[in-house]
Structure 1
Amino acid sequence: MEGVAMPRNLPNPVIVVPGITATQLRDDYRLPPDSVWGVLSKDYERVVMHPDNLNYEAVQPARIEPGELFDVAYRELIAELRHDLPAKPDETVPVFPFAYDWRQPLEATEVQLAAFVDEVIDRTSLLRHYDAGGWTSEPKVNLVGHSMGGLIIAGCLDMLGPRARVGKVATLATPFRGSFEAVIKVITGTSDLGPGVPSSRERDAARLTPSLYYLIPSFTDGLDIDDASSLPRTLFNMNLWQPNVVDTIGQWIKTHGLNKKSPKSQAIDLFGAMLRAADAHRQRIEAFRLEKANLAPGDWLAVVGVDATTRVRLRIQEKAGRPQFVLSGEDRRNYWGDRQIPPEQWTITGDGTVPFAGAMPSFLEPRHLVCVVPDDYGYWEIGDKLFTRLAGFHGILPNMDMLHRMIVRHFTERPDKHRSTWGRMAPGVAEKDWAPAVDLGKPK
């Protein structure tokens, strides 16, 4: 009919949601604004949240806002998607980075992501080829989440339900069920969860970072507590944590708090509240099902990193009625592909940060997962291989060229004529049952 746009199969615009600590933070109160969190410099004291109001910083006056995504982790991913998604050079497919304050509770970030989805749809609707192609009749976005970014996506979709205007999702190395590295970060101030060296400043900041508790592991395999112990069996219970966590929070309350109530009593209340909020969010993610957001397993590409030595176990012993964390290098293991180990134990692996057990989403069966290993970096990515050894497989996973091609195929449904994408099955999955969101042919 004349004057009516004929529908075309234009790729949805894309939003890339980064992981924890991977967005720069700046203080807009200063003129000019200055960085308080970047790749090379971090001002831990200025990013600690205020114990009376976790929406704001302890050191005031300040106005900390998210800046750009860490270039080293996401530049190539975003550039490749922008280059490869368009079917024609003059038909841009928007790929937006989603910068957010990664310190905040995930529920707040999920609300921001939902609003950003609407903004991206509105902006894309202004592009002539999307308007002429009929995309605006049923507009949707596609989402890419790395690490904690995937948790935010899942929580956002659960919140929106059938109102979610999302077509497809790709998640990379997401700790849907947590990581022991979040615990190590709170205990010691360092871990494989983010950059940095051990310091009391980093530890103090971690203990007042609400989002970090959302990454606490909820899977039971790996939490080693004596059967005879009276300790709780979940890390979402504050009685399973060493008392010095509460002590640190109490010190910040004593220094910055306004309430005259006992600092220790306030610290107990605050620590318990952060754990309860994180636990409630985890239970919500566990209960989420794709059909709630009008999605199917074929709409969600879940990539899991394996074959890297990863902390898969945490020993907690009871000493004088109190918990004591026993950290050991023996708890970092990798049994992937070890012919001396029964195949059912090949799940004792991970990406260096997230153990396989923590990367398993409740809303996808293992047969839908795609496993990748460090050796999947190509010959021309030898620099990335070296960087992986320094930055960790988990952190650099978004830089893998093969995954860029896989995500493009997922979003466009293009065939793989040159067999340039591949993957591996999760342990225990039969080849005949393997059904990833992208047809990858015979598994490696």
Structure 2
Amino acid sequence: MLGLVYNRAAQTHGPDRNPVIVIPGILGSRLKDPADGRLVWGAFDHDYIRPNDPEGARLIALPMGEGRLRDSVSRLEVDGSLDTVDVSIFYLPLRLGAYVNILQTLGVGGYRDEQFAEAGTVDYGTDHYTCFQFAYDWRRDNVESAHALLDFIAEKRREVQAHYERDYGIVDADVKFDIVAHSMGGLLTRYALRYGHADLPEDGSLPELTWAGAEHVERVILVGTPNAGSVEALTQLRRGAELPFFWPDYPPALLGTMPSIYQLLPRPRHGVYRDAETGAWIDRIYEASYWEERGWGLFDPEEDKVLSWLLPEASGRAERLAVAREHVAKCLARAEQFHAALDRPAARPEGMSLHLFTADSRKTDAAVSIDHENGDVRVATTHVGDGTVLRSSALMDERLDGDWGPRLRSPIDWSGVMFIFSNHIGLTKSEAFSDNVLYLLLEQPGRVVSD
């Protein structure tokens, strides 16, 4: 049915139609070990890399050490976006859809992506190419990934300009992109747009908000983005990630090496963390000492075996804890600074629209109760969302309990918001999602490009 609606628009190609960049969320890019070519993340057959043995844990974890987080050197390489997950049960191959739903929606609109056209995952036709997948190392600091996104945009812009010059005779065309970003991909997108290549200053202050990264972007569509964080980030750093189906569990010490997960934590000012005994709200979530007192993540005594795998050169637990202490402090400080940079109120730059697709039909964890003695984390309250991200988090709703009003108050200057009755992953499977995304990309009035 959508093909009938958008068929003519999908066949109308040219410089007036922006190329699209699709940005996946956490876990949405394949990671490969160049030493032997094996996928460390993205394929689960009989020979996959396991997180619960020393070699596998060291490969999957982000190396810890002195210096800045960006100085951490991992031997893994990004090996493209994860449109589907290759799995094997009893040596029988299966393919599970991941971001193929977004690609299929764009395929209806006539967008063709070179990465997956050859694989045959999506039938894009033969006459269009303007869909690009931005793959990144989702374990790393989101600011690093934001800078990589800007480099990617610059590279693809040169490619599209060459195409326009060859096919349309337009020299140095003013190419702009539309962006569709899912989940955590929306966070790094927002940072890139606001701050360009500026880093978070080492003194803890915030960079100048210049919108430098928005120069070559016209439409931005965020899908299920946890703009105010997700309780799931804390529970996974506490208990590990219990992935669905038959995938292996990822222990909390391994996840605790990844700066991006700390950057998914909810904001303390939103009343998310509560002391189980006193009921008082906790605002120490960015303090490494608080994590050590609770025995969370890298500090969990039961995780010392995993920590010894990750730090085989350390002489004992005391030395391992010293490394962990420095790493967690860096991750939490970076997360607090990253949150402050994204939470700064700012009007959109002229010529750029910002749209949100989110859900409010699933019970979603909203606040946790923390046991002061053993550090246990239990869900205290739930509210509406997509099962992973609260409605209020996606909106970045700042109407706190003591300062509530009937109108949304958010530091994000939304152009439009669409609510879908679905869950976090199912958002992209919805026909309402596909219909409205195609309208925004293909039919919503925008700038007119002429030679």
Q: What is the TM-score of this pair, normalised by structure 2?
A: 0.71
Structure 1 residue 307 corresponds to structure 2 residue 313: no
- Aligned CA distance change for structure 1 residues 326 and 414 (closer, same or farther; 3 Å): closer
Structure 1 residue 25 corresponds to structure 2 residue 37: no
- By how many angstroms is 1:191 displaced? 5.3
CA distances 1:204-223 after superposition (whole Å, capped 9, x unpaired): 22111111111001152332
Partner of 1:237: 287
1:133 and 1:398 map into 2 onto residues whose CA distance is 37
Which ranges in structure 2 are unaligned for 5 or more consecutive residues? 1-12, 52-56, 85-96, 112-124, 197-210, 397-409, 447-451
Task: For 1:255, give the aligned amino acid.
Answer: P
- Aligned CA distance change for structure 1 residues 173 and 260 (closer, same or farther; 3 Å): closer
- By how many angstroms is 1:49 displaced? 1.6
Partner of 1:223: 273
CA distances 1:79-124 after superposition (whole Å, capped 9, x unpaired): 33133156xx886251111111100111110111000111111111
Partner of 1:360: 395
Partner of 2:431: 401
2:255 and 2:35 map into 1 onto residues whose CA distance is 23
- By how many angstroms is 1:406 displaced? 1.2
- By how many angstroms is 1:198 displaced? 7.2
Structure 1 residue 36 corresponds to structure 2 residue 40: yes
1:21 and 1:255 map into 2 onto residues whose CA distance is 26
Within the candidate set 230, 238, 253, 1:179 is matched to: 230
Structure 1 residue 283 corresponds to structure 2 residue 327: no
Within the candidate set 134, 142, 153, 1:98 is matched to: 134
Higher helix share: 1
Structure 1 residue 326 corresponds to structure 2 residue 377: yes
- Aligned CA distance change for structure 1 residues 247 and 223 (closer, same or farther; 3 Å): closer
Partner of 2:252: 203
Which ranges in structure 1 are unaligned for 5 or more consecutive residues? 1-6, 334-347, 375-392, 416-436, 438-444
CA RMSD of aligned residues (A): 3.6
2:169 and 2:439 map into 1 onto residues whose CA distance is 21
Deviates more, 1:93-102 or 1:227-236: 227-236
Task: For 1:204, give the aligned amino acid.
Answer: A
CA distances 1:13-63 after superposition (whole Å, capped 9, x unpaired): 111000101211111121xx01111253553212112112656889x8x44
- Identity rate, percent: 20
1:135 and 1:78 map into 2 onto residues whose CA distance is 30
- By how many angstroms is 1:230 displaced? 8.2
2:247 and 2:359 map into 1 onto residues whose CA distance is 24
Within the candidate set 113, 119, 136, 2:149 is matched to: 113
1:235 and 1:401 map into 2 onto residues whose CA distance is 39
Structure 1 residue 351 corresponds to structure 2 residue 386: yes
1:353 and 1:315 map into 2 onto residues whose CA distance is 18
Task: For 1:370, give the aligned amino acid.
Answer: M
- By how many angstroms is 1:234 displaced? 4.2
CA distances 1:133-172 after superposition (whole Å, capped 9, x unpaired): 8595321111110000000100111122245310110010
Within the candidate set 64, 68, 83, 2:108 is matched to: 83
Is the Cα contact below 8 Å between 2:234 and 2:265 reproduced in 1? yes
1:15 and 1:63 map into 2 onto residues whose CA distance is 23
Partner secondary structure for residue 359 of structure 1: helix
Aligned residues: 364
Partner of 1:123: 159
Structure 1 residue 372 corresponds to structure 2 residue 384: no
Is the Cα contact below 8 Å between 1:231 and 1:318 reproduced in 2? no
Is the Cα contact below 8 Å between 1:13 and 1:140 reproduced in 2? yes
Is the Cα contact below 8 Å between 1:144 and 1:170 reproduced in 2? yes
Task: For 2:148, give the aligned amino acid.
Answer: Q
Task: For 1:282, give the aligned amino acid.
Answer: H
Q: What is the TM-score of this pair, normalised by structure 1?
A: 0.72
Is the Cα contact below 8 Å between 2:42 and 2:82 reproduced in 1? no
Task: For 1:37, give the aligned amino acid.
Answer: W
